[in-house]
Amino acid sequence: MKKINFSAGPAILPASVITQAAAAVEDLDGSGLSILEISHRSKAFDAVLVEAEALVRELLNVGDEYGVLFLSGGASTQFFFTAMNLLNPDETAGYLDTGSWSAKAIKEAKLFGHVNVVASSKESNYNHIPKGYTVPGDLKYLHLTSNNTIFGTQFQSFPETDAPLVADMSSDIFSRRIPLERFGIIYAGAQKNLGPAGATLVIVRKDLLGTVERQLPSMLDYRVHIKGSSTFNTPPVYPIYVMMLTLRWIKEQGGLTAMEAHNERKAKLLYDEIDRNPKFTGTVSDDESRSLMNVTFVCTDDADTGRFLAAAEAAGCDGIKGHRSVGGFRASIYNSMPYEGVETLVNVMKEFN
Amino acid sequence: MKKINFSAGPAILPASVITQAAAAVEDLDGSGLSILEISHRSKAFDAVLVEAEALVRELLNVGDEYGVLFLSGGASTQFFFTAMNLLNPDETAGYLDTGSWSAKAIKEAKLFGHVNVVASSKESNYNHIPKGYTVPGDLKYLHLTSNNTIFGTQFQSFPETDAPLVADMSSDIFSRRIPLERFGIIYAGAQKNLGPAGATLVIVRKDLLGTVERQLPSMLDYRVHIKGSSTFNTPPVYPIYVMMLTLRWIKEQGGLTAMEAHNERKAKLLYDEIDRNPKFTGTVSDDESRSLMNVTFVCTDDADTGRFLAAAEAAGCDGIKGHRSVGGFRASIYNSMPYEGVETLVNVMKEFN
């Protein structure tokens, strides 16, 4: 039985992307070669990179003032990479602490400069996105995690500040429209909304670079990768190829306007059931903080937990067990999750007694 | 027509590995999920990591005093990573300069400590592996590139020194037996003898770590990855999976003893033709420096170059055009290249007139 993949990441990909991705491993577009064995300097892969970059620019409306990079190392690498490239030891960056990944980004940034944690929801186990704080005026940048995979929270709008925003969008990039011009850097590990694990998308405003005094190893300098068009060294060819296929699929679906509507409709279906059904309780404390990507909830009576998990799995719903920091359940319903997948889960909830 | 892939990297993989790698994209072992969408913390992927590590340890005879890591970022990342983790600012590491990749490793290491270039063949366009030099006694480590992809040279034996060797083995790892106990760190981008681009194998002697004073970002600290068993963050799942399949294949072929015999036989076939046929000339200045992995040669009469390339391509030989630094031709005949592939190329050479 083909399972319905609710995993937090690596996560579901569109069925058509998987079919094409498998075919290219056998033979890339009738070339007589597998995508796994072609040179990263071949015309075939150059076409992949060019198309992937063009799709990123078109879908998110990214102008030439930004570089678009396909790197490796995941968001965890970007935690230090961003600070290393933007922050001098005597400068201060602001950080919004909205979950485990924000906390890790804060830890790594402290190695390079001053960190001002402008707001935090840690005291309430990150069950909401902070509100009502003031962002200081002297920040080099303000870092945030746009969607918190573990805690099921998401920024519905972005904080007011003159500083450029630096955002980890690993788990909600391309899921909705965003005010791109407010961002200095956006980074995202591919393995939630973009493709398989192993590639990292970085969108970086070029005029922010070159202001740090420290010497950067070549591989840790955004300017080197911009100059090398993501092929300064051998990039993760196959993960980038599958990312390109996924970006094509997003465009075919109608781009970010369509994705946003699709994601809102799926999330509403699931949250409505959580709110209606006394057997279940959402874990996020206010509706405005609820994530459209990762829906976290518990059984109101903890004694039901094991039985509900078994019922969901029997219906083919895979990966809904919640993260240990929150418990209960987490349904990750990224772009590639079809409406019917959420319907299946909601039907299990309705029938559960 | 299925081409014979002589590319320098990303490079040929065994046909049976490609078949299995494609099937797993559709469905991993009947799980109902694609390998592209499974969690890196799933039992299925944990089994992949455990088997891959066990195969590395078995094939290279790696004991528990070493960590075996599956990272990303390629050898280019290891150029600075090794120095950053091993070398204090007042310490000296030795480097053997045998090609473009050695030179890049030297450049990056200089950011972290003193670099003593113990020997170099740069003056003769890297057409041989240096001999007759003395390694100083006070080195933290001695770095070398065991096989030089661009220049077609390879260390047949490793230099005498009390310092631990640190080696970039990207293009000849698992191609032959090596005296593992002499190495402090071995690193290798996967995309030549191990799998597709996107994964990097690192074998590191644990007692060498923790001796540098600088603060390391988590992702740049070998100890963090050893402690996290390569899942401190989301690793490149699919490239590691294909690496595991390739390691299985190497074991099935008879391990490194069999690989070595297979590679020696293929290289002899090709070098014998280069030496016999007056139409061709090898570019490496002494036989002891010749690589068994990348065989570089030119047409003795440069006017033949275009015509020979066309003849080889007509016979299905792909990727034999030489690197611009050397010109002519480069036939990369890694582990996965079958004897029959080299025979096809040699037959084109024999018939060329």
3-state secondary structure chain B: CCCEECCCCCCCCCHHHHHHHHHHHHCCCCCCCCHHHCCCCCHHHHHHHHHHHHHHHHHHCCCCCEEEEEECCHHHHHHHHHHHHHCCCCCEEEEEECCHHHHHHHHHHCCCCEEEEEEECHHHCCCCCCCCCCCCCCCCCEEEECEECCCCEECCCCCCCCCCEEEECCCCCCCCCCCHHHEEEEEEECCCCCCCCCCEEEEEEHHHCCCCCCCCCHHHCHHHHHHCCCCCCCCCHHHHHHHHHHHHHHHHHCHHHHHHHHHHHHHHHHHHHHHHCCCEEECCCCHHHECCCEEEEEECCHHHHHHHHHHHHHCCEECCECCCCCCCEEEECCCCCCHHHHHHHHHHHHHCC
Q: Are residues A149 and A103 in the same domain?
A: yes
d(Cα B57, Cα B45) in Å, to the nearest integer? 18
Residue B245 has pLDDT above 80, yes or no: yes
Last residue of some domain: A220, A253, A286? A253
Q: Find out whether A276 is annotated in a ligand binding site.
A: no
Residue B311 has a pLDDT of 98
By the 10 Å C-beta count (0-12 exposed, 13-18 middle, 19+ buried), B27 is classed as middle
- Asked if the structure places residue A8 within a domain, the reply is no
- Asked if the structure places residue B315 within a domain, the reply is yes
pLDDT tens, residue by residue, B61-87? 999 999 999 999 999 999 999 999 999
Q: Find out whether B332 is annotated in a ligand binding site.
A: no
Q: Phi and psi for A271 in degrees, rounded to 5?
A: -65, -35
Nearest chain B CA: its distance from A110 CA (Å)? 10
How large is the average pLDDT for residues B114-134? 97
Q: Are residues A321 and A246 in the same domain?
A: no
Residue A232 has a pLDDT of 96
Residue type, B325: S
Q: Phi and psi for B154 in degrees, rounded to 5?
A: -155, 140
d(Cα B223, Cα A189) in Å, to the nearest integer? 23
Band the pLDDT of A248: cuts 50, 70, 90. Answer: very high
When scoring A2, A34, A78, A334 by the number of chain B Cβ atoms within 10 A, the one with the most, hence best to mutate, is: A34
Which one of B97, B140, B172, B192 is the catalytic residue?
B192
Other beta carbons within 10 angstroms of residue A258's beta carbon come to 14
- Asked if the structure places residue A26 within a domain, the reply is yes
- Asked if the structure places residue B10 within a domain, the reply is no
- A1, A73, A196 member nearest B219 (Cβ): A73
Other beta carbons within 10 angstroms of residue A208's beta carbon come to 19
Q: Are residues B91 and B61 in the same domain?
A: yes
By the 10 Å C-beta count (0-12 exposed, 13-18 middle, 19+ buried), B313 is classed as middle
Both tokens of A163, joined, read 């500083």
The ipTM assigned to this model is 0.97
Q: Are residues B39 and B153 in the same domain?
A: yes
Nearest residue of B to residue A237, measured between CA atoms? B197
Contacts of A43 (CB under 8 A, 6+ apart): none
Nearest chain A CA: its distance from B318 CA (Å)? 9
d(Cα B190, Cα B200) in Å, to the nearest integer? 5
Which one of A97, A140, A172, A192 is the catalytic residue?
A192
Residue A57 has a pLDDT of 98
Per the CB < 8 Å rule, is A234 touching B197?
Answer: yes
- B40, B73, B316 member nearest A72 (Cβ): B73
A167 touches A201 (CB < 8 A):
no
Last residue of some domain: A253, A280, A303? A253
- B1, B10, B108 member nearest A218 (Cβ): B108
How many structural domains comprise chain B?
2
Band the pLDDT of A166: cuts 50, 70, 90. Answer: very high
Q: Find out whether A253 is annotated in a ligand binding site.
A: no
- B2, B236, B319 member nearest A72 (Cβ): B236
Maximum pairwise Cα distance, chain A = 62
How large is the average pLDDT for residues B111-119? 98
Q: Are residues A268 and A242 in the same domain?
A: no
Residue A209 has pLDDT above 80, yes or no: yes
Q: Are residues B28 and B53 in the same domain?
A: yes
- Listed residue (B40, B18, B78) closest to A233, CA to CA: B78
Q: Are residues A225 and A108 in the same domain?
A: yes
pLDDT tens, residue by residue, B287-302? 999 999 999 999 999 9
Nearest residue of B to residue A236, measured between CA atoms? B198
Q: Are residues B153 and B81 in the same domain?
A: yes
Residue A322 has a pLDDT of 95
Chain mean pLDDT for chain B = 97
- Asked if the structure places residue A272 within a domain, the reply is yes
| A192 tagged catalytic | yes
Nearest chain A CA: its distance from B196 CA (Å)? 5
- Strand A200-205 to A294-299 pairing: unpaired
How many A-B residue pairs are in contact by the CB < 8 A criterion?
202
B155 touches B290 (CB < 8 A):
no
Q: Are residues B299 and B248 in the same domain?
A: no
Q: Find out whether B215 is annotated in a ligand binding site.
A: no
Nearest chain B CA: its distance from A39 CA (Å)? 5
Per cent of chain B over pLDDT 70 is 100
Last residue of some domain: B233, B253, B273? B253
Band the pLDDT of A2: cuts 50, 70, 90. Answer: confident
Which residues of chain B make contact with A1, given a CB cutoff of 8 A? Answer: 32
Q: Are residues B322 and B223 in the same domain?
A: no
Nearest chain A CA: its distance from B67 CA (Å)? 19
CATH code of B207's domain = 3.40.640.10
Query: DSSP secondary-structure letter at A327?
Result: -
- Asked if the structure places residue B5 within a domain, the reply is no
| A97 tagged catalytic | no
A72 touches B219 (CB < 8 A):
no
Q: Are residues A167 and A19 in the same domain?
A: yes
A84 touches A220 (CB < 8 A):
yes
Which residues of chain A make contact with B22, given a CB cutoff of 8 A? Answer: 22-23, 25-26, 34
Residue B2 has a pLDDT of 80
CATH code of A338's domain = 3.90.1150.10
Which one of B97, B168, B172, B221 is the catalytic residue?
B168
Structural domain for A234, as ranges? 15-253
Nearest residue of A to residue B316, measured between CA atoms? A32
When scoring A35, A40, A72 by the number of chain B Cβ atoms within 10 A, the one with the most, hence best to mutate, is: A72
- Asked if the structure places residue B6 within a domain, the reply is no
When scoring A238, A321, A324 by the number of chain B Cβ atoms within 10 A, the one with the most, hence best to mutate, is: A238
pLDDT tens, residue by residue, A260-319? 999 999 999 999 999 999 999 999 999 999 999 999 999 999 999 999 999 999 999 999
How large is the average pLDDT for residues A239-265? 98
Which one of A97, A140, A168, A172 is the catalytic residue?
A168
Dihedral sign computed on CA atoms, order B92, B93, B99, B105? negative
Q: Are residues B244 and B278 in the same domain?
A: no
| A140 tagged catalytic | no
- Asked if the structure places residue A195 within a domain, the reply is yes
